[in-house]
Amino acid sequence: MKQKLAILLIAIGIFTIGWNVYHWYVQADTVTANSQQARSIDANWHNTVMQTGISDLAQEVKQDDEELNEGDEIGTLTIPKLEKIYPIYFGTDQETLEDGTGLYDTPYTVLPNQNGHTAIAGHRDTVFIGLDELEDGDRLYITFNHTKYEYQIRKTWVTNAEDRTVIVEKEEPTLTLTTCYPFDFVGPAPDRYIVESELISKETLK
């Protein structure tokens, strides 16, 4: 009897480990690790970007026919320094974040084509591995609604998971990335790693 119980426990353990590994792989696989494409976006940006003043960048508003639902894929996030291209999904529920990065849908945040605070979340151990390598001045790019937006990182910091001063309303076009911290923490992490950037230019895609 004890031998059967031991075998059963071992089988359960193997299944659990296998499932977790598979789950991690599926999440990590949503990220396109295309260094050439990611870097070319950064390198070619200033050769093709429209000469648009910052005051003009905030003039777009959400179209009436834009009906977004939780889990809808709405665009991409490119981080050239990490050589990664991430799918962006609408919402930050657990199921959505298993597919890629999630766009916050709150009273304080907006879509990239609106004037205000755009915020994106991602898991630290899958899509946002290496986020702590980013530095002030690094570029981020969002493709959304036939437009590509260029942001420059202004600040990175660590804060408590209960901090309510991160996802807030902002007057200037801002992109914030959030993930759990520490990156090597096992279980629910107590803190959050924050990357804040400002919109500096945009390009209308043909």
Contacts of 59 (CB under 8 A, 6+ apart): 115
Residues designated as active site: 123, 180
**What proportions of the chain, in percent to the nearest 5, are helix, strand and coil?**
25, 30, 40
Bin 71: left if φ > 0, else alpha if -120 < ψ < 50, else beta. Answer: left
CA distances from residue 92 to 39, 77, 102 in whole angstroms, order as listed? 27, 15, 5
**Cα(77)–Cα(179) distance, integer angstroms:** 15
Specify the amino acid at residue 24.
W
Contact 116, 103 (CB under 8 A): no
Tell me, what DSSP letter sits at residue 93? Answer: S
CA distance 161 to 189: 8
